[in-house]
Structure 1
Amino acid sequence: MDEVEFMRGRVYGADHDTPGPRPGRAYAQLVGGPLDGLLLDVTDLAEDERARGVTLATEIGRYGAGGRSLYGPRTGDPRRFDWRGDMP
């Protein structure tokens, strides 16, 4: 199983013992970029925070360890967050 396949269906930042979605939580699918296919728990994000998007730490992006990837809600489908780029 390659790294991309391994990460699919997993929740970003989740414990390895409970990698999948949990009941009662709201998730957005990350689309594109290094975190493509992961789910992001957006349950506790306020509406304005969701609209601004998120910056997520990742070691598999353009900048490696210490790098971050930017994702924002897709116009017309807030259940998907599209990749907007990487930053150091």
Structure 2
Amino acid sequence: MDNPFDDDNGSFYVLVNDENQHSLWPAFAEVPAGWTVVFGEDTRQSCLDYVEKNWTDMRPASLIKAMEESEAGAAEKAGSGV
């Protein structure tokens, strides 16, 4: 059986999870728990274009938040002269 994710003639969704990670998903398949449809139903290429345009930072949202908090803490510490 061919991989449904590689079907250039298929219909797809773009899904996003709580970590802001994106996934191309075949329209015939049930959307898994923890994922939300943010684009589609559309062609595979249109969905890939959406992902390329909208998922520019591959880091999970929790990592982005932790890094920002760490940077803010370091800046605060540097500003206090400690």
Structure-2-length-normalised TM-score: 0.30
Structure-1-length-normalised TM-score: 0.29
- Higher RCO (CA-CA < 8 Å; seq separation 6+): 2
Q: Which has the higher helix share?
A: 2
Q: Which has the higher strand share?
A: 1
